[in-house]
Amino acid sequence: MNDPKKLYRCEVLCTTLTDEITFTEYEVVKRTPKGYWVKEFPFDTDLIWVSDYAKKRLCYPTQKEAIHNLYHRRLRYRKILNARLNTTNEIIRQCEEILNGNKRCSETKGRKRRGLSNSIRPRDIG
């Protein structure tokens, strides 16, 4: 079995000018039958457990596997952001209907939210 001396995590470094794909190196401190004890190379002193068999790992034995993991993390992130964007667009559409007088705002029944004043109610709009 060829045990790696370093594991890699691929991340996106966001700057004001560009976004870059970067690698964080983790030094393998100890190999066990089911994974690794690693520390962030060369700075960190805290040990982190990384399983060989976990679906979502912190770091991977090769840079190619780390990039593959980043790719799938970003696909999932895009899916989450698209769902949020769709929800936001629907709320904006509903607000525009209320502001144009095409729809009335429904009242909340029996549920108070923290931080909202009772002085302004949905029926006071429009």
Domain total of the chain: 1
Residue 108 domain-assigned (yes or no): no
- Of the candidates 20, 110, 10, which has an alpha carbon nearest to the alpha carbon of residue 62? 10
pLDDT higher at 107 or 122: 107
Q: Is residue 67 part of a domain?
A: yes
* Span 41-47, average pLDDT: 81
Percent of the chain with pLDDT over 70: 83
78-102 per-position pLDDT tens digit = 999 999 999 999 999 999 998 988 8
CA 126/CA 119 separation, integer angstroms: 15
Say which DSSP state 16 is in: S
Compute the average pLDDT of residues 35-51.
88
Containing structural domain, residue 22: 6-99
- The whole-number pLDDT of residue 120 equals 52
For residue 115, is it within any domain?
no
pLDDT number for residue 42: 73
**Does residue 116 sit within a domain?**
no
105 domain-assigned: no
